[in-house]
Structure 1
Amino acid sequence: MKLTVIGGGSTYTPELTDGFSRLRDVLPIDELWLVDPDDRRRELVVGVSRRMFARAGHPGRIRATADLVEGVADADVVLIQLRIGGQAARLGDETWPHEACCIGQETTGPGGLAKALRTVPVALEVAEAVRRHAKPGAWIVDFTNPVGIVTRALLEEGHRAIGLCNVAIGFQRRFARMLDADPTRVRLEHVGLNHLTWERGVLLDGADALPAMLRDRLPELADEVELPAPLLRNLAMVPSYYLRYYYAHDRVFEEQRHEQPRAEKVMEVEQELLRLYADPAVDSKPAILAERGGAFYSEAAVDLIASLQSDRGDVQVANLRNDGTLPFLPDDHVIEVSATIGAAGPVAVPVAPLPADVQGLIGHVAGYERLALDAARHTGSAARGRELVERALLAHPLVGQWDRAEKLADLLLANNRDHLAWAR
């Protein structure tokens, strides 16, 4: 099996390598290819990854290249983890929205739109290379944020794609610890859009443990997602951490104004990681990698790919076409829900009707996402591109005012012009 990672020079890649090493019985890999245009990072990451495979006794070969076609040629699975513009662009996403009194975040709100605009065209170029040069039927696994928008872009162009996020597996592992149970015994009733999800049930051996957890462990659950305990009690669900941007917007905005941006912290961690990767004695993932983010992503990726390749038919959380699962959304929208994963792809587990307020918020953000994808696929005039950006910003529930949308459009374009061909 050949597995290719696009964006393989990421300092996060050794987390994947570690998962592939530990779980090689679940997902046997003959060749792991790391594709990245940054020569220095690519060589440092491939070096430490090879040492990790050697230490684990993994028989697979690890190759690295800047050539996209060479990297995806005859691949069985291609995993996309892109960050167009690097951490510098992320820092912008987290800060320039503050000038319009909006939260700064790289996957939602104005910053999330900027990331979508930068990312979708590149992801589609990668996918086209996969279509032409990978094995027939090769899967594209998208871990590139904003996952829902990018995955829909891929599916709309007919690519065999599925989106993956680590929020659900993070919840599963934390809930398992709280229940003193092995994670394999815990299944989530997870529903929503990427980075806009709720846990409606925590099934322990098939029985829902969430009502008892909300009764007996409410403060702990609230602390996990940094939201007020009465809110969780009222919802009778556990919202993801990303719901803080909606349920506690003003508080989060004030926090952001006085805290170091996350991107700056990640830059500091990345420099230390690259220093460690350059050390020929380092043959395991450094402890500091945990500060880079993406906890349990390697386990989620291995499980997802193994089920796609071997038709296991188990239930995992993925980003996939709606196709009637949430009847208030179009069939072609991409949702994030629990799904049965097999060789033919994911099939959503049926979802019971959602409360009206949750439906409303999901529908509102889904409307924004559709406009965001229209803007991200734009290739025409600068004037029309700006109109699409303004419309998407206005539609986002974290913006919602014309004056603010206009100002945010100015800021977004000023900070991203180098990445948007139509805006130059």
Structure 2
Amino acid sequence: VFLGTFPMSINVKEVSRNDKIITLEMSPIRGGLAIRDAITYSFTPFGFPDNKINNIHTQKIGKNLHISFPIEEAKDRILQILAINQIGAIATPYHWSNYNSLKTVLEVNPKLDIMHTEGGIFFQIEMDQYAPGKAKLKLSNDNVFKSYPVTQIQPTVFLSDMLSPKILNDIKYVDVSLTNGDLSRETRFNFIPGLAEPKMKTVILSRDKNCSIQTLSSTVYSPTAFWIEKVDKHAPVKNGYHLSPVYQLQPFDRVLKDEFLVGLRYNHRYSGHTKMGIYYYNEKSEDWEYVQTKNNPERNILTASLDQLHAITIIQDLISPKILKTFPANNGYYKGSDITKIIIDVEDKISGIEAKEKSFSVKLDGKKLFCAYHPIKKQISYVFDRGLSAGEHQLNIIVIDKVGNKTKKFISFTCE
């Protein structure tokens, strides 16, 4: 079967029904070629796929096709019919309802999703429940608007054609129009896109103007639409003080060529606060991770650089790192030959500890040791060439997290 070999659409009507069987007739209305087969799927009134319908009988009548199937399989269901013409092209999906919906286009709630691919962007409209009707997409600013057709690909889902990102230039509003006969409803979505192009800088603002993206001349490979969504439901901030809403930078799955800048404005009542930072949500670790942040206290704005589009927010970290365990331990007594290394286990659950020399200081009997840090094990270590001499020894340990919180610890131990 070759999908989309030729444009083709069909009409469907019920021709007979008894207590056990329904028969439908399919006829081509665009494309003109005879229909040789059809595949039918059932969906629930809430748009969930149910079953593939088993045809009891099919019959070709001229260019048309009759299909008969058990009435029980279609009870309270919406059927999606995929007709196949004589050269194998599949028609635009047709949706036939064996369900008397109590909902109209005035009562269902549409949701808008935007998908950005290498070729262009798609708009998807999804209703929370089936209602008979048609949908249309409108993009506009304060002066003009343009409508774009959408295709019903499932009973509750409509999809636009692939569109160039450049159509979003200077767009302020996205409206979805639902109609059925004399009934009509329009829903406006909070979507303020910006267009980034190679060798150009672009600034994109959230609707509340408290979050911004600034693309650089090397950020994208090709024209790319950016937008910012304020998130109501987000991953919990388990540690630290959460000081701003969460914003999802979109399109989150778009691969970028290079870095871009983000800015988050904080409330003026936090002016003078320290150790605030921009954090992004890491899907792999399922935690919020600190990004090196600059604070402009005069404008109440934090800025940072990112190379991927994440969910971001502001968190304040006022908690010092913890030194969990050391070897040698405090007041320990050892053979000098047994002390071949120093191991310090540390923890910082908010901003974290950077794997750089400035993040820790370890001195043995006043002499600085150049230690290694393992970020996965969260362990500072130093290996001796030989064991320690007999007598009392002192370790002075300082650990500093990414926002400057500091912990000190003094360890005294004896070697024989």
TM category (shorter chain) comes to under 0.3
Which structure carries more strand by proportion?
2
The TM-score, its normalising length taken from structure 2, stands at 0.19
Which protein has the larger Cα radius of gyration, Structure 1 or Structure 2? 2
Which structure carries more helix by proportion?
1
